[in-house]
């Protein structure tokens, strides 16, 4: 059976609704998607864009990651709504903490994937989610961070620079036409982290609108997390 990969395509995977419990007593809505026929090669923990501006675990790039990557790239995809965030999957308890109290949310997500013994964990942030990744994933046992449209507005220079002392990879995927941080400035700011890689994407914007932009960013994620599955195919032969 062959399926052409389109914007609405949802490929087979094992889907599990999860409730995360934070250290300060909140219950968060989450979902784990894993391959059906194989053990995952790596695990993506997805931190969504700013919830006060419409970001949530079902934002289109993350929804398509969960719909495609378990089948196409043998990746486990773990998404969650940070505190106070509501999406089609449901609403997490608590209130928006401006990137401060959300530390407990990310740590709960990482504790969950560790409890499942999921392999080769990468924290993937998008916009606001990149701030959580940079601020709070530094001391976690992960492979590294993949940053989509990083604004570097809440991350302090000191928080960014400390990644230079780590072996963890830092991958910044930066749209040419980003509203907050474009490739040239991104290269200057990430220069304090010698192992950081800044990938400029021509013609792309902050929200990665359109199927071609989404496919490009998913390709870049897979290139890092499971290079053997890169590039992603246009057709799934299940």
Q: Name the residue ranges covered by the structural domains of the chain.
A: 2-237
pLDDT over 90 (residue 238): no
Q: State both tokens at 55.
A: 């970001």
User: 148-174 pLDDT, tens per residue?
Assistant: 999 999 999 999 999 999 999 999 999
Name the strand (E) or helix (H) holding 216: helix 211-225
Rounded to two decimals, the pTM is: 0.98
Q: State the pLDDT at residue 1.
A: 77
User: 93-138 pLDDT, tens per residue?
Assistant: 999 999 999 999 999 999 999 999 999 999 999 999 999 999 999 9
Q: Closest by alpha carbon to 44, among 188, 197, 148, 152?
A: 148
**2-237 carries CATH number 3.40.50.1820:** yes
User: 47-86 pLDDT, tens per residue?
Assistant: 999 999 999 999 999 999 999 999 999 999 999 999 999 9
Backbone torsions φ then ψ of 103, nearest 5 degrees: -55, -45
pLDDT over 90 (residue 207): yes
**Average confidence (pLDDT) over 216-223:** 98
pLDDT over 90 (residue 195): yes
Distances in Å between the Cα of 6 and the Cα atoms of 9, 13, 38, 57 are 5, 17, 23, 20
Instruction: In whole angstroms, give the CA distance from residue 129 to residue 149.
Output: 9
């Amino acid at each position: 059976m062959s399926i052409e990969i389109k914007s609405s395509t949802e490929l087979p995977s094992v889907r599990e609704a999860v409730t995360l419990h934070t250290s300060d007593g909140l219950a968060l809505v989450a979902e784990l998607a894993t391959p059906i026929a194989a053990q995952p090669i790596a695990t993506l923990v997805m931190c969504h864009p700013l919830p006060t501006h419409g970001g949530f675990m079902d934002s289109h790039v993350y929804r398509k990651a969960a719909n495609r990557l378990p089948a196409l790239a043998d990746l486990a995809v773990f998404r969650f709504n940070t505190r106070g965030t509501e999406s089609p999957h449901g609403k997490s308890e608590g209130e928006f903490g401006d990137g401060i109290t959300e530390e407990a949310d990310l740590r709960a997500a990482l504790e969950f994937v560790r409890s499942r013994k999921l392999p080769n964990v990468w924290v993937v942030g998008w916009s606001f989610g990149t701030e959580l990744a940079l601020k709070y994933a530094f001391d976690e046992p992960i492979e590294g961070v993949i940053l989509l449209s990083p604004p570097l507005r809440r991350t302090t220079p000191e928080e960014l620079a400390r990644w230079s002392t780590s072996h963890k990879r830092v991958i910044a995927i930066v749209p040419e036409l980003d509203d907050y941080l474009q490739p040239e400035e991104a290269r200057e700011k990430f220069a304090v982290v010698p192992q950081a890689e800044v990938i400029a994407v021509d013609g792309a914007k902050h929200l990665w609108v359109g199927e071609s932009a989404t496919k490009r960013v998913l390709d870049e994620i897979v290139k890092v997390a499971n290079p053997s599955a890169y590039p992603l195919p246009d057709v799934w032969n299940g």
